Structure 1
């Protein structure tokens, strides 16, 4: 029986891998045999994540501290990964932030920070890994985690810098896919909707957000743990060899209306 999503022996780098969706996707890749490099700013958290993944899935997993707004550090980290593993097959650009405030009150620093982390940070990681690992290997899978708010606006949580940054990630994905296809690198984006996590549960379970789900989401609910994993697995695997430049909403149908 063929396992279409077998990643045995491959090395996957996941940014924003200290909590939430990043950890969930890293575990999904590890479950298919991938070695995991968990990247985030908080060393104690990524070390704990790496240990849990290694113990649970019996794959090699390491945590490396990195601020993706620091170009020199990003380049050094990629060199460290290549020195240790000799390859990087998969990159999931998951690190991000989100300033919520009315547009007229957003500061320059808030706007710049959003672009610098969500969009430019993803580009820094993709640029370094493509140049040092994927282009030489003539193979790679890059998955940028954008957002449904990179495709539409919203009236619920004013966050114009986030819309701008994630919209940039969406079209940057198309640009990189167009450039790097000749090297065997597939670049795609996932646009998650609202997902339950320890940080969002109280908000999403509130009366307002429950009513919002009934009104705005065809499936009438928010995403549960694990419901993003299979999209990431598909785009990370050799099975998606003819899929590149795709923007995949995983949002319960929110952007369909």
Structure 2
């Protein structure tokens, strides 16, 4: 700061009057925070018992894997908020968990659509405890080949969609007085390039998501809302199955070190369950890499 803009302090020995005392007292009052600390009856088991969780993009891929593990850890109900109709894999999980796994049509790039879906969850289940902002897309090609419509598609879904979901969930948590949890799906490309399939715009969207989690965690802690993210590495989905079929796959794995395979989507689920559970009551503003091979690059 320039010395020219530093104002000298005036020291007065006069006794403060009543109005001054009131101002000092008001200035030093502690802010009111809704604590996330569990009550004395909490049993410290990592569980989602009685929790209602929404997961965007859970009709397939990583989202479906997260839903599977949430249900295995006693979530009362899990909702998939997805733009596309459920397929066979969704139906199998729903059949195995009657009345516990549901689908709601939702376009996460529309703030109105997200708010409507969350209102519907509360109308049907009476509450919502967790939001997993997972829906996303990728496009791997040289940076010089991206045009603006492709960039806008990536950022609308991966960044704006994630923000709309987090914001709508936070408003509902505050309205209902629920100490909720929000978990973003980021990516290891938010830390470092994906050498096997570069995509500068995709990495940029996931870097934005990871930073957003840190900042929202700071803003919403006073409401008892925790915000975190998970950064997966290579995960076997409909979008990535081709990776390990590449002729140079084994050579790449020897070069990179680490785990020479793709992850089953369910292998990510434990991290999400932890962050959604009350066992993580003092965990906010962090990213957990679940990356296998990618973490070793």
**Length-normalised TM-score, structure 2:** 0.79
Q: Which residue pairs with 2:270 in the alignment?
A: 230
| Alpha-carbon spacing, 1:197–1:185, altered in 2? closer, same or farther (3 Å) | same
Alignment partner of 2:267: what SS? Answer: coil
1:170-249 alignment, distance < 5 Å = 170-249=210-289
Aligned counterpart for 2:114 among listed residues 74, 80, 89: 74
> Structure 1, residues 2-55: CA drift from partner, whole Å, max 9, x if none?
672221221000001111111011011111221011111112439x72x53343
Deviation, structure 1 residue 122: 0.5
| Native 8 Å contact 2:44 2:279 kept in 1 | no
Bigger Rg over Cα = 2
Name the structure 1 match of 2:20: none
Structure-2 separation of matches of 1:85 and 1:217: 46
- More off after superposition, 2-11 vs 73-82: 2-11
Q: Which runs of 5+ in 2 are unaligned?
A: 1-42
The alignment covers a number of residue pairs equal to 254
Aligned-pair distance for 1:220? Answer: 3.3
TM-score (norm 1): 0.91
What's the CA shift for 1:198?
Answer: 4.5
SS in 1 for 2:137: coil
Please name the residue that 1:87 is paired with: 127
Paired with 2:98 and 2:86, the residues of 1 have a C-alpha distance of: 21
User: Aligned equivalents of 1:196 and 1:221: distance in 2?
Assistant: 9
Match of 2:145 among 82, 105, 108: 105
Please give the secondary structure, in 1, of the residue aligned with 2:108: coil
Residue 167 of structure 1 corresponds to: 207
Q: What's 1:39 paired with?
A: 81
Give the 4+ runs in structure 1 shifted more than 6 A.
Answer: none
More helix by share: 1
Q: Aligned partners of 1:226, 1:7: CA distance in 2, in Å?
A: 16
Give the whole-Å Cα distance in 2 for the aligned partners of 1:142 and 1:207: 39
Query: Which ranges in structure 1 are unaligned for 5 or more consecutive residues?
Result: none
Corresponding residue number in structure 2 for 1:24: 65
- In 1, Cα distance between equivalents of 2:152 and 2:265: 31
Does structure 2 retain, via aligned residues, the 8 Å contact 1:89–1:134? no
Shift of 1:238: 0.8
2:192 is matched with 152
Residues 102 and 88 of structure 1, relative CA distance in 2, 3 Å threshold: same
DSSP-derived class of the 2:234 partner: coil
- After superposition, the CA RMSD in angstroms is 2.0
